[in-house]
């Protein structure tokens, strides 16, 4: 692996941790449930899907990069994004996601220097 790839992957994982922390707080789900390799319960699975969706939308990461950062498959992330996008028809849910997305976009991102 080259150095640029490692730097980018570390940055992606940091973005995923930030998103998980925000979603964990907003939806009252533990981070352990969000990173679990199993579905856990429906509430935790839904929160994980929201976190993956927000990482994709707010940080403009490809589905593959989100999958790598969350330890999931690209098709799992794609399914999560479609599911969450479909649920945005609910005005209350859409407003909540808009707020979370705004918080993530407003975070000062550290400058990542590629070698």
The tens digit of pLDDT for each residue in 56-93 reads 999 999 999 999 989 999 999 999 999 999 999 999 99
Helices (H), 1-115: 3-27, 31-35, 42-58, 63-70, 74-87, 91-106
What separation in angstroms does the CA of 68 have from each of 30, 44, 74, 86, 102?
Answer: 20, 19, 8, 24, 23
Query: What is the number of domains present in the chain?
Result: 1
With respect to residue 114, please indicate whether it lies within any of the assigned structural domains. no
Give the orientation angle of helix 74-87 with respect to helix 63-70, to 10 degrees: 110
What CATH number is attached to the domain comprising 42? 1.10.1750.10
Contact 97, 88 (CB under 8 A): yes
Query: Mind listing the pLDDT tens digit for each residue in 14-34?
Result: 999 999 999 999 999 999 998
User: Considering the domain boundaries, does residue 46 fall inside one?
Assistant: yes
Give domain status of residue 111, yes or no.
no
Q: Residue 48's domain spans which residues? A: 3-106
Domain assignment of residue 113, yes or no: no
């Amino acid at each position: 692996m080259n150095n640029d790839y490692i730097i980018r992957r570390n940055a992606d994982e940091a973005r995923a941790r930030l998103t998980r922390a925000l979603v964990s707080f907003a939806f009252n789900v533990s981070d352990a449930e969000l990173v679990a390799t199993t579905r856990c319960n429906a509430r935790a699975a839904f929160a994980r899907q929201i976190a993956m969706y927000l990482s994709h939308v707010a940080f403009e990461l490809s589905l593959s990069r989100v999958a790598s950062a969350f330890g999931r498959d690209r098709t799992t992330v794609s399914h999560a994004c479609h599911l969450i996008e479909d649920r945005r028809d609910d005005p209350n849910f859409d407003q909540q996601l808009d707020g979370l997305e705004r918080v993530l976009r407003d975070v000062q991102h550290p400058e990542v220097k590629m070698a």
